[in-house]
Chain A
């Protein structure tokens, strides 16, 4: 991806796609068209898009339970993502995954997991596969501050370090594991310093500044492709919504803190930066936002018009082939 106006507008477009997709999903949930927990992204768009823009189309990416933004940031179409949130058979997971597993493998995704920290070994293994296949692909693993306390974080960084695997561990530190602040559960102020324990580079970056995220990630990607091994990046960011929409937890974040981060809305910051540097006109950015509005409206229409899965589809994809010796549909008649 080259520097310049086209890249700036593409970054803006991807951030708008995430922001507007999430707004439409919340609207569908509120109207009762959608069920289940909805873990939304607003506030964290710059971290996601900055990281994804540093990856090639073929590179791998692993997400988290808060992962609507990751496939969008990597360039996935919105129709099948929205259909999945609506539990339709046209959904990217054919209605089997929903909000916590919204993973589009066609853009390099290798899953989004709802067991916190469980994606780190998967990304490590994808990087091992890349190294063995000598295909030049890197893997980028998103995870949160909470996951940095999981054993899989430490095991994965150690494995990637000893084998010099082409992987980037990208922590979206939004400060909270649901309602528990990282200040109470993480032994360090900067998770990035944990890289030192594994003899790999660690970087802290302003997660609201998309270009800063892009640059630090691009350097880590170049390092990985050069065979120099993994990097840990920590983006300081914030989640604007609740852990899941409608959770209604007692207030655990102060009004001042929320206002501080709202004022650092990554879309507004980036728009202002582009205007101040005259890299994009307001008209051009408004046109991008309008295109995205139409794209999201079309995705909602596609999802709502799509059929629900046949209940029999619950038996598909357990194994590569149907289970022949014990046909549950016949066995469990009662």
Chain B
């Protein structure tokens, strides 16, 4: 059991899959020089043919990966900073997501697209996006947002083995978090399955990405106040494991969704809508969302830090819902 941080877990996942399957290769900006910290050692072990540094051409790069996937390769693209997905949206939406469907099952596009979410670090509005929700309305895409090192490794390995295109969002705020991972075990988590990260009986706290650790910390504080909080991490945003969430809310009767993305059209909005549709009559208080307000992300620390969900904001929302208020 070695102590491994989030970035090393991602590197290990790619290295293990490249050893296991000669079809797997990685491509992205500055991968060979390990600029982002998750590709160290890959060039030495696998050589330049399987570790490709790419031109600054997001659409061309992701489309090239999709084409390679259609002829039997398993590309893992690191687009690096999540908003760099935007220039490539046509290839993601019109090609990767739709090709299996449009061609009536004649092809598959097993490509993994990694994107990191650099919010809460003074990167200003164009580098701080958390855009997983923007892709939730696209059928055919699987969307994964791991919250810790174990999940990052096990979900990335599962994503590489998946037959469908996967958008894999990595939260910068948990890059440094480390945990003990088994050395030899081939750890895999199924896509589309949520995790109950903490059991509780009073409130269901649904949290994604970096918000999971904040929610677990809030739950500890609340426990001392006599409030028992269940924390659910969807792990996969799409397909979303609604049943695990509903089972929890049936037990607690209270629901708070925490999502670092902008509030309008968020994952939190989607899951609150589903919980309300399915369990409205058994809710003991109106559901709540803890999100980022609908403004851009500013550069200055003082303006930026209050915008995202924090442990205090999450705890306050739970206390509020325990009073039976919406």
| Interface of A toward B, CB cutoff 8 Å | 60, 62, 91-97, 101, 103, 105, 110-111, 113, 115, 118, 120-130, 132-133, 137, 139, 151-152, 155-156, 158-159, 162, 316-320, 323-326
Contact = CB atoms under 8 A, between A and B. Distances in A.
Contact of B104 (A97, A129, A139, A326): A97
Contacts, number: 166
Interface of B: 25, 49-50, 54-55, 57, 59-73, 75, 87, 90-91, 94-95, 99-108, 139-140, 142, 162-164, 192-193, 239-243
Nearest to A139: B67
Given A93-B104, A111-B99, A324-B239, A128 B164 contact: no
Nearest to A158: B55
26 contacts: A92-B106, A93-B103, A101-B102, A103-B103, A105-B103, A113-B94, A121-B59, A122-B67, A123-B67, A124-B67, A125-B66, A125-B75, A126-B70, A127-B67, A128-B64, A128-B67, A139-B67, A152-B90, A159-B57, A159-B61, A318-B100, A320-B100, A320-B162, A324-B192, A325-B193, A325-B240
B68 A95 contact: no
A31 B265 CA distance: 45
Nearest to A131: B49
Contacts of A162: 55
Contacts of B243: 325
A319 to B, nearest CB: 5
Given A93-B103, A324-B192, A326-B239, A121 B60 contact: yes
A86 B130 CA distance: 42
**Most chain B beta-carbon contacts within 10 A, residue among A91, A115, A125, A127:** A125
A135 to B, nearest CB: 9
B64 to A, nearest CB: 4
Contacts of B62: 121
A67 to B, nearest CB: 12
Contacts of B193: 325
Given A115-B94, A318-B139, A326 B103 contact: no
Contacts of B73: 128-129, 132-133
Contact of A126 (B67, B99, B101): B67
A125 B64 contact: yes
Contact of B106 (A93, A115, A126, A139): A93
Contacts of A152: 59-60, 63, 90-91
B91 A118 contact: yes
A77 to B, nearest CB: 14
A105 B55 contact: no
Interface centre among A123, A124, A162, A316 (most CB of B within 10 A): A124
A115 B94 CA distance: 8
Contacts of B239: 319, 323-326
B287 to A, nearest CB: 18
Contacts of A325: 192-193, 239-243
Nearest to B140: A318
